[in-house]
Amino acid sequence: MRATPADSSAAARMRAAGERVLLELIAPAQERMGRAWAANDMTVAQEHAATAISERCVAAVADATAPAVTGTCVGRVLVSCVDGEWHSLPARLVSEVLRLRGWRVDYLGAQVPTEHLVAHARRTRAQAVLLSSSIPTLLPGAHNAISSCQGAGLPVLAGGAAFGPQGRYARLMRAEWAKDAPDAAALLGRLTPSGTHATRLPDLDLPHLGDQEYTMVRRTKLQLVKQTLADVEERSPETREYSQYQLERTVEDIDFIVSYLATALYVDDPDLFTRFITWTADILAARGVPPRCLLPALDSLLNQLKDFPRTVGILTAAHTLLTPPPAHPAA
C-alpha cells in the first residue's frame, strides 16, 4: 500500500516532534542535571536516577516515532562511545536523531573496545563511525579508535566534551567534529569513504610526543600518585587522621590530577589541565572544601617532574591559577 501525501505529511510532523523532544527537552534537562551535581544541589544517586528517566524518555520517543521512519534508508552508520566512556546518553540521542532523519543506525552504547568497534563497522558495511566521549582522559584511546577506523576506510565524526572547545582535539586527531546531532546529520551527508590505508601512529598526528614526556608520566603514574600522597600527608598532617573513605577519595583525586596532566601532555595543551583544575576547584568549593588544598599535590608533582619542561609549564600554569594574589597592606 502506497503512502498518501497526507500520510507522508503526518509522518514528517511526527519525526519533527520527536526530534524536538530529544533536542529541546531531554538534552537540556540532562545538561541542567550535570550542573546541579557540580553545584552540590544533586547527589550522585539522584543524578543517576534522573539519567535513567531520561533514557526511558528517549526509548518512548523511539517507540512512538517508529511508524514514521519506515521507508527509504539514507545510509548506515555506527554510533558508539569510546572505550572507557560510560556516559552513553549523548550517543543515544544522536542515534535517535539520525534515525528520525532516515539513517539506519547501529548503536553500540558505552565502553566499546576499539577492535570490536572496527570489526562491527566492517561487518555491517557502515558508511561512517560516530564516536562520543565526555571524559578528556580517554583522548589517547579515542585517538587510537579514530586512526583504526580511518585505517579501515571509515570516515569518523567525533563529538562530546572530551574533544575540547569547538572540537579542537578531534581536529588534532584528523577527525570531523560534530557539535550536536543536527550538525552530525549535516556532516554525514558530505562524508565519503577514503579507502583503506595503514593505521596512523600517534606520533604522525602529534609530533610533540617525541619528547617522551607523556610516555614517562603515563608509565610512572602509580609511583607519582604514591609519592604525591606521601608529600601531601607530610605537608598537611591532618590528612593522616582521614578515615578510609576520605583516604580513598584523596588517592582518587590525585590519580585524576596525574591522568589529566598526562592527557594535557598528549594533546600539548595546558588549557586542558587548567580547565580540569578550575572545574575541580569549583566542585570542592561547592562542597565546602577550600580549593587551595590542591596546591600541595601540584607542588609535589612539580618537584617530581622538574626535569620535564612541558610538564613544568602545565603545572605552573595551574598552580598560578590557584594561588591567591598577595594581599596589599592597608594604607
Query: Could you report the per-residue pLDDT of 250-309, keeping only the tens digit for each?
Result: 899 999 999 999 999 999 999 999 999 999 999 999 988 888 889 999 999 999 999 999
Q: What is the CA radius of gyration of the chain?
A: 23
Q: What is residue 2's predicted lDDT score, i.e. its pLDDT?
A: 46
**Region 218-237 average pLDDT:** 94
First-to-last C-alpha distance (Å) of the chain: 89
Closest C-alpha among 78, 66, 131, 65 to residue 104: 78
**Region 18-38 average pLDDT:** 94
Question: Does the pLDDT at position 203 exceed 80?
Answer: no
Question: Does the pLDDT at position 1 exceed 50?
Answer: no
Query: Could you report the per-residue pLDDT of 70-119, keeping only the tens digit for each?
Result: 877 889 999 999 999 999 999 999 999 999 999 999 999 999 999 999 99
Residue 145, C-alpha cell as written in the block: 579508535
Burial 145-175 (b: 16+ CB within 10 A, else e): bbbbbbebebbbbbbbebbbeebebbebbeb
Q: Which residues pair with 103 in a beta bridge?
A: 75
Q: Which position has the higher pLDDT, 124 or 190? A: 124
Question: Does the pLDDT at position 196 exceed 60?
Answer: no
Mean pLDDT of the chain: 91
pTM of the model: 0.89
Q: Which position has the higher pLDDT, 203 or 88? A: 88
d(C-alpha 13, C-alpha 21), whole Å: 12
Query: Could you report the per-residue pLDDT of 259-274, keeping only the tens digit for each?
Result: 999 999 999 999 999 9
**Phi, psi dihedral angles at 248 (to 5 degrees):** -65, -40
Q: What is residue 215's predicted lDDT score, i.e. its pLDDT?
A: 96
Report the residue count for the chain.
331
Q: What is residue 167's predicted lDDT score, i.e. its pLDDT?
A: 96
Percentage of the chain exceeding pLDDT 90: 78
Q: What is residue 289's predicted lDDT score, i.e. its pLDDT?
A: 85
